[in-house]
Copies of this chain bind each other. A is one copy, B any other.
Amino acid sequence: MKITVASNVGFCFGVKKSIEITEKTLEKYGKLRNVYVTGDLVHNEKVMEYLINKGLKILHVGENKLTDIPENSVIIIRAHGLPPDKISDLKSKFNLVIDTTCPIVRKMFEVAKDLLEEGRVLFVLGNKNHPEMVALKGHVKKVSFFSSIDELKEFLDEKSINKDAKIALISQTTKDLRTFCKAAYMLTERFKDLKIVKTICDFTVDREREVKKLAMESDLVIVVGSNKSSNTRKLFNIARKFTSTLFVSGSAQLNDSLEDFENIAIVSGTSTPINLIEEVVSFIKNKFGEVEVLWRSQI
């Protein structure tokens, strides 16, 4: 049996920075003040469990009553961002609000605002309930979300937007490039003046490309991460088009059936800690003995 671990594994720099800031904040203030994060800091249960054990509390903006929370609490804004009015609200109530919004996500908000200011009709490839898109909605009021090409087609067939209208297309930072390009094709077919800004995070595109290559070369791909993570689900959806694929949050979901496979690839989303990958590799090595492991990042 041979295991190949993708070169692009572990946290991306945005996730890493959010977690580091949170750890430091807990160290500095955790003993005397409550430290709250606005929802899951990143979409990984193990990471959240680790931080909650260190004292982190979860604040569900819009659900928790802010008056129940002590004024001296420290508030951390998650990597996916938050609508600006919610941030102002928090800042007016608490004296320490730390914003860990990923810079790539923040850039996307700015691009969206600029495109609307140009008077363009804004289309966004994204899931409207994903926290990144909820935050975006706070920045731009008039926006049409679609999460698949069928949904975009249906929308365009129903609404009659003038073909001379100026159109813009952007994306949730973790959506897949193929769907984005198909959307560019469809909008070009129907409209005359388009501005397309590819706000998809390059780091997640690199992982897309690598998972496709690995899936074509392997008889099993193990995707490690949380089902809540958009970019991890994306890797799973790409891999399973080419080969057998398992989506696991850790080694606990693995069993003897792995012995049917000769070439196994291991990949992960940007919010999966590297120790979960190591755990999966160790599990397989312990179970099957004769295993050759190749960490591509070490090539």
Query: Is A197 located at the chain interface by the 8 A CB criterion?
Result: yes
Contact of A194 among B191, B192, B196 (CB under 8 A): B196
> Which bracket fits the contact residues of A?
10 to 19
**A177 closest partner in B (C-beta):** B189
**A188 closest partner in B (C-beta):** B184
Residues of B near A192 (CB, < 8 A) are 197-198
Residues of B near A181 (CB, < 8 A) are 185-186, 188-189
**Residue picked from A181, A185, A188, A191, most chain B C-beta under 10 Å:** A188
Type the 1/0 row for A176-202, where 1 means its CB is closer than 8 Å to any CB of B: 010011101110110111111110000
Residues of B near A185 (CB, < 8 A) are 181-182, 184-185
Residues of B near A177 (CB, < 8 A) are 189
Determine whether the beta carbon of A188 is less than 8 Å from that of B195: no
Residues of B near A193 (CB, < 8 A) are 196-198
A157 to chain B, nearest CB (A): 16
A178 to chain B, nearest CB (A): 8
In the bound complex, CA of A181 to CA of B184 (Å): 8
In the bound complex, CA of A192 to CA of B107 (Å): 13
Determine whether the beta carbon of A191 is less than 8 Å from that of B195: no
A26 to chain B, nearest CB (A): 36
In the bound complex, CA of A136 to CA of B163 (Å): 25
Residues of B near A196 (CB, < 8 A) are 184, 188, 193-196
A193 to chain B, nearest CB (A): 5
A108 to chain B, nearest CB (A): 11
In the bound complex, CA of A177 to CA of B189 (Å): 7
Contact of A198 among B182, B188, B195 (CB under 8 A): B188
**A168 closest partner in B (C-beta):** B195
**A195 closest partner in B (C-beta):** B195
A7 to chain B, nearest CB (A): 19
**A169 closest partner in B (C-beta):** B188
Residues of B near A186 (CB, < 8 A) are 181
Residues of B near A197 (CB, < 8 A) are 192-194
A120 to chain B, nearest CB (A): 11
A194 to chain B, nearest CB (A): 4
Residues of B near A189 (CB, < 8 A) are 177, 181
Task: Using CB atoms and an 8 Å cutoff, list the residues of chain A in contact with chain B.
Answer: 177, 180-182, 184-186, 188-189, 191-198
Besides A184-B185, A194-B198, 12 more A-B contacts (Cβ < 8 Å) are A177-B189, A180-B188, A181-B188, A181-B189, A182-B185, A184-B188, A188-B196, A188-B198, A191-B198, A192-B197, A194-B195, A194-B197
- The 9 sampled A-B contact pairs (Cβ below 8 Å) are A184-B185, A193-B196, A193-B197, A194-B194, A194-B195, A194-B197, A194-B198, A195-B195, A196-B196
